[in-house]
Structure 1
Amino acid sequence: MKKYNLTNITFRMQTPLNTRKSRLYASFRYIPRLVFRLIRGKFHIFIVYLFCLEAVVVFIISKLLRKPIIIKDTHWYWPDTLPAKLFWPIARFMVKHANLFLCSKIVAQYYRSSGISPRVKEAPVYASVINYNHEDVLRAKKLREKIGRKKIILYFGRLVRYKGASYLIRAFAKLLKESDDIFLIIAGEGPEKERLKKLCNELKLKNILFTGYVKHKDKPMLFLACDIFVHPATYEKPEKAPEEWGLVINEAMSVGKPVVITTAVGAKEIVRQGVNGFIVPPANADALYRVIKVLLEDDELRMRMGEMSKEIIKFYTPEVVLKKYDEAIIYLQQKEFEKNHSFY
């Protein structure tokens, strides 16, 4: 089988369907250029991300040129916006008639439950790990010493309402009443920062740190230093949609941390209830409180879950993602070869 060259065509403006302000004009500006590149490029296989209007153009061109197309998607839900609702019948048709549909297990389940039976190749579509060195380990150790060797709970992400940091803070307030031996780090920046700080003042909380923006070089230190990672996302996006994935969950697992998440994130696919963490309902401070308490009170459980996190994440690394893409492309190459050399 011949090797292949990969050409990536990107545009600064796309027309996403996950907001109410759909930028339709962007498509009309770039579609002529896109069509020109697709036809002139003489490509043998097309790969396109479903959730933008440009995908329709790529799909049509692939069918006109009679070339195989791989469609990938990351959505295990369909946003509650007018553009998304209008696009849904088209998306169903495209997925059904794609030569291959590349998606995670949770996405495949969603489409099948919607009455679509695509040619699925399950693959991790989101992958990220924390790469660290000896210096990062030493810095994490110093941070723990500075905090006073308390058990550290980490939130890492943008400070926006739908990320649910306020529910974690309320859960932490309840935990702090029972034990002074805990510490919460809220790492990240965003429009909700001042509101969250005000909430902490109202609850008269101590043992809490807002880091603000975290430089990339400081990220490993925080993940290595924490005992528990919490990602309390909710359905409070403007379009009332959950979070597609939550890469920080992958990153916490890659350094062997037990994770607490909600059902509002796609990464629940890699969190096994009671094995490497806990999954709770969104927007529920009491539920967060209960499972975090279990982890805080059992050192052995935290260690065991952390080890399981490292084992599970081995199947969700960038290397695995690339391998799955490679397998998909080679599979379609083989199919095209068989079709072109068939005697029947």
Structure 2
Amino acid sequence: MNTMRHQLSSQRFLKGAVFSLYQLAKISQKLGSVSSSRSLHSVAHISSTYFSDYSQIGGGERYVTSLAEAMANYVDTVLISFGPTRKSLKQGKLRLEVYPASGAVTNPTSYGFLQELINVDLVHCHQYRKSVTNLAIATSAALRKPVFVTDHGGGGSKISDAIPLSKLLNGFLLVSDFSAKSLPSTKTSKVIYGGVSNKFIAEETYREKDKRILFVGRLLPHKGVNYLIEAIDENVQLDIVGRAYDEQYFALLQELSKGKKVKFVTSANDSEIVETYQGALVTILPSVYVDVNSNQHVAPELLGLVLLESMACGTPVICTDVGGMPEIVEDGVTGFVVPPNDPTALRERINWLVNNPEAALQMGQRARERVIEKFTWDSVAKRCLEAYRQSA
């Protein structure tokens, strides 16, 4: 009971703090608009993800770190995140500051990090509906700092629904056109997409592919892996690479795999994942809006970084017509787009690639060329910096 009272008290204090800062920001706005086109020397990226063993690290979390590392080559960049203890680290040119936080791991609350915002020119928050983002938006605007948000899906805080914090933003920088659907409208929204790190594109990949199907990602119901297992024939090898975060769902996948050539790899380092991508015939991301448990997911895949990683390694992809994935997969050119929750459609495309390995290889090379042209992190950082300057 005491714990519940403490949580309610903390939530009320947080909402009061954000509202007070919001009011200050509105007064500050009356002094004149905040321009992001002024001299830009330093940027703070803020990620609500815990830097600890308890984090559910997925594409959204990798996105923040990769973008900040690439941006550090152009301006002084600090990545602010949260964990059990205070830490200051360096990753190449990137400065990483980890602040202690309370509350849920997926939605931490912290106030100490706000001091970092005083000495930067611009603030870029990741994840819109998070407590630290609510605080950062209001504080940045009160300090007359340009502030942007890139959302990667997921909730946690309802404060931004009660207080119109989006009115304080210089803009949303979107990972896809689709991602705009879950966000309030602002005067400025630009799509900057996402990218892949150099380790995926460092070496040419003209090797012959195994007739092996690949899935990489967290094993959660909205990923639709059960439909992929249903789709494969008994003589086709399927490698499923990813951690199981839902024991009940993992048990279902294991049951569906009986009698089929399915291998689960729940732990793999970066070099192993690159090699796995390179050797696969095709990588498949079969995400769904309605999962096997009949639960609905409004934004199961805002972009699909796994697809870009595979394409960078010269391996074609199959994705479902879900979220932002069709924006990066050119159907029939770099891979295929199929309806969600449809094992038959998946099976047809898988078997076509199995029976046409040369065509699969050509698709993979076109996919790699597309990534190198548009989806490196350096390209994303440049698009992001340009959006900062344009969104006055």
Distance 1:215 1:24, change over 3 A: closer
The structure number with the bigger radius of gyration is 1
Letter of the aligned partner of 2:263 in structure 1? L
Residue aligning to 1:65: 143
Whole-angstrom CA distance in 2 between matches of 1:296 and 1:212: 25
Letter of the aligned partner of 1:62 in structure 2? S
Whole-angstrom CA distance in 1 between matches of 2:243 and 2:108: 29
RMSD between aligned residues: 3.4
CA contact (8 A) 1:130 1:252 kept: no
Q: Does 1:251 align with 2:309?
A: yes
Distance 1:25 1:281, change over 3 A: closer
Residue aligning to 2:283: 229
Q: Match for 1:170 among 226, 230, 244?
A: 230
Q: Match for 1:270 among 328, 333, 339?
A: 328
Unpaired stretches in structure 1, ≥5 consecutive residues = 14-20, 145-149, 336-344
Whole-angstrom CA distance in 2 between matches of 1:261 and 1:24: 27
Distance 1:48 1:109, change over 3 A: closer
Structure having the larger proportion of residues in strand:
2
Residue aligning to 1:158: 218
Residue aligning to 1:17: none
CA contact (8 A) 2:200 2:274 kept: yes
Whole-angstrom CA distance in 1 between matches of 2:379 and 2:266: 33
Unpaired stretches in structure 2, ≥5 consecutive residues = 1-38, 43-75, 85-102
Partner secondary structure for residue 47 of structure 1: strand
Q: Does 1:186 align with 2:240?
A: yes
Whole-angstrom CA distance in 1 between matches of 2:202 and 2:190: 35
Partner secondary structure for residue 301 of structure 2: coil
Structure having the larger proportion of residues in helix:
1
CA contact (8 A) 1:103 1:125 kept: no
Residue aligning to 1:322: 381
Task: Give the TM-score normalised by the residue count of structure 2.
Answer: 0.64
Whole-angstrom CA distance in 2 between matches of 1:122 and 1:129: 22
Whole-angstrom CA distance in 1 between matches of 2:251 and 2:106: 34
Aligned ranges 1:87-236 → 2 under 5 Å: 87-88=160-161, 90=163, 93-107=164-178, 109-110=180-181, 116-125=185-194, 127-128=196-197, 130-131=199-200, 151-173=211-233, 176=234, 180=235, 182-190=236-244, 191=247, 192-201=249-258, 204-205=259-260, 207-235=261-289, 236=291
User: What is the percentage of aligned positions where both structures have the same residue?
Assistant: 24
Whole-angstrom CA distance in 1 between matches of 2:186 and 2:40: 30
Partner secondary structure for residue 124 of structure 1: coil
CA contact (8 A) 2:316 2:360 kept: yes
Partner secondary structure for residue 318 of structure 2: strand
Task: Give the TM-score normalised by the residue count of structure 1.
Answer: 0.72
Residue aligning to 2:339: 281
Aligned ranges 1:35-46 → 2 under 5 Å: 35-38=114-117, 41-46=118-123
Deviations 1:151-182 (A, max 9, x none): 11111223333322221111103xx4xxx4x4
Distance 1:86 1:37, change over 3 A: closer
Whole-angstrom CA distance in 2 between matches of 1:46 and 1:172: 46
Q: Which moved more, 1:294-303 or 1:277-286?
A: 294-303
Q: How many residues align?
A: 294
